[in-house]
């Protein structure tokens, strides 16, 4: 297979061609460390792309999360690479393409994880591409003497590579869907908000991640804390002199105890930069990206991924709810309504329901509403993943839907979260909807309208529900 930088050799099994560790940008180390991505130098001969490429420096999950979320570490400096799954059979018509941006709080994840294997997408006629991008301090540090959002710049470079090269794999460069979950969805929202979004992709899938970015002072809190722990200045030049291992150790200490629900120092996209010039939510609700079809949604009990394994569910008290009410302007009437709608729920569950809606469901509803107001806007499709895992009280938690979207419920990570008896039909149907969206721009249920149709994936009826929990949604303005 020929790419713009040279010839690559992949593998073939079960009717699927695999090309792993395909570089889309130069190794970001040495003189290129903490610099924007640069073109890949050409190579002579044929490059072996039969094994996973190097992964961005990262630490495995801890604090109970390691039982549910996997981690893979592949050594090497060529971390800006792609994993590509393509159908063996090449039809006359070019195939739709999905580019997968993994989650992991901008500090973990890779295209080498079994949970992100694209075989089932390729089996169903889609070319599936997983992107490795810089994570943690390497990708999202904020320096006075350097550029921010380098991990996001990597994603842009990867998407441009796909536009230029995917035809060689049988892919249609005019039918590229970018798809991401959690932090991956947050970065996709930022990409969708860019003026050049349509030059990068044609459709977008955002799973459990809202449009968000922070001012440089807020986004740089982790960098400053790491610098203090390391005894150095928070500058590109000084961080570039430190090994990835030293940065990871400081990163671990600087972010200890942080969760997306309870907050704390964490990596984030930085506002006011070349890559994120405006707040993504403001740009998107103002009409940016309105010409691109979007599929988006969240899980009913997102909070349980962080609250259950860590024991936080039982530790949340009235003081936590009071602080949240003051910080986010949540009225006593809203709290009473949520409590009334959840008889028997504990304070942790009440806090989690409020946080899930505040951080995810309501922002995505508002985005879908705003797109309706743009004349001629492309359709938006909204879903809710409501199937409840029987494992350790996880319920319909964050990331649970991934095994179903990938039709990969037998993977080790999917079994850890959903158990060994996850409903096969739910995986078949959900995966098929994502494939349809990539191929046609329509997943198979009504587009968002003033009636607010939501496809609820619960493993039973999997029905379209009009304005679910409207009494609660109406409380958020």
Q: Which residues are catalytic?
A: 182, 302, 398
Query: Cα separations (Å) of 325 from 252, 320, 328, 351, 364?
Result: 30, 9, 6, 10, 21
Do 27 and 78 form a contact (C-beta atoms < 8 A)?
yes
Residue 30 burial (CB count, 10 A): 10
Q: How far apart are CA 202 and CA 466, in angstroms?
A: 27
Q: How far apart are CA 181 and CA 120, in angstroms?
A: 18
Torsion on CA atoms 219, 221, 225, 227, rounded to nearest 10: 60
Q: How far apart are CA 400 and CA 305, in angstroms?
A: 9
Q: How far apart are CA 78 and CA 70, in angstroms?
A: 21
Which of 364, 380, 388, 366 is closest to 302 using CA atoms?
388
What is the DSSP pairing of strand 95-101 with strand 11-13?
unpaired
């Amino acid at each position: 297979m020929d790419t713009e930088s040279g010839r690559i050799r992949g593998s073939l099994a079960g009717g699927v061609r695999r090309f792993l560790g395909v570089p889309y940008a130069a190794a970001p180390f040495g003189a290129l460390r903490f610099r924007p991505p640069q073109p890949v130098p050409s190579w002579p001969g044929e490059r072996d792309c039969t094994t996973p490429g190097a992964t961005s420096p990262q630490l495995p999950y801890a604090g109970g999360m390691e039982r549910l979320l996997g981690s893979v570490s592949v050594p090497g400096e060529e971390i800006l690479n792609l994993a590509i799954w393509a159908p063996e059979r090449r039809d006359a018509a070019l195939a739709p393409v999905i580019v997968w941006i993994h989650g992991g709080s901008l500090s973990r994840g890779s295209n080498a994880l079994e949970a992100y294997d694209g075989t089932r997408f390729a089996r169903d006629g889609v070319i599936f591409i997983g992107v490795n991008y810089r994570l943690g301090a390497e990708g999202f540090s904020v320096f006075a003497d350097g550029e921010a959002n380098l991990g996001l710049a990597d994603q842009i470079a990867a998407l441009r590579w796909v536009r230029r090269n995917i035809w060689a794999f049988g892919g249609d460069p005019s039918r590229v869907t970018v798809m991401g979950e959690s932090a991956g969805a947050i970065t996709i929202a930022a990409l969708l908000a860019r003026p050049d979004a349509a030059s990068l992709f044609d459709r977008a899938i955002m799973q459990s991640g809202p449009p968000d970015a922070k001012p440089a002072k807020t986004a740089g809190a982790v960098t400053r804390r790491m610098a203090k722990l390391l005894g150095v200045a928070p500058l590109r030049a000084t961080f570039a002199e430190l090994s990835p291992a030293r940065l990871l150790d400081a990163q671990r200490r600087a972010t200890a105890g942080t969760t997306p629900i309870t907050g704390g120092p964490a990596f984030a996209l930085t506002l006011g930069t070349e890559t994120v010039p405006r707040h993504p939510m403001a740009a998107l609700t103002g009409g940016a990206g309105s010409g691109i079809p979007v599929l988006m949604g969240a899980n009913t009990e997102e909070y349980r991924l962080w609250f259950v394994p860590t024991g936080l569910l039982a530790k949340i008290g009235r003081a936590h709810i009071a602080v949240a009410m003051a910080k986010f302007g949540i009225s006593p009437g809203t709290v009473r309504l949520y409590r009334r709608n959840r008889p028997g729920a504990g304070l942790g569950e009440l806090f989690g329901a409020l946080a899930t809606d505040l951080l995810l469901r309501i922002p995505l509803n508002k985005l879908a509403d705003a797109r309706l107001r743009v004349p001629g806007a492309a359709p938006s499709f909204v879903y809710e993943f409501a199937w409840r895992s029987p494992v350790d009280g996880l319920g319909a938690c964050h990331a649970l839907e991934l095994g179903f979207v990938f039709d990969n419920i037998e993977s080790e990570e999917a079994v850890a979260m959903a158990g060994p008896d996850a409903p096969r039909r739910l995986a078949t149907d959900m995966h098929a909807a994502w494939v349809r969206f990539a191929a046609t721009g329509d997943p198979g249920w009504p587009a968002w309208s003033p009636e607010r149709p939501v496809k609820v994936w619960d493993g039973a009826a999997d029905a379209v529900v009009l304005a679910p929990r409207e009494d609660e949604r109406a409380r958020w303005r």
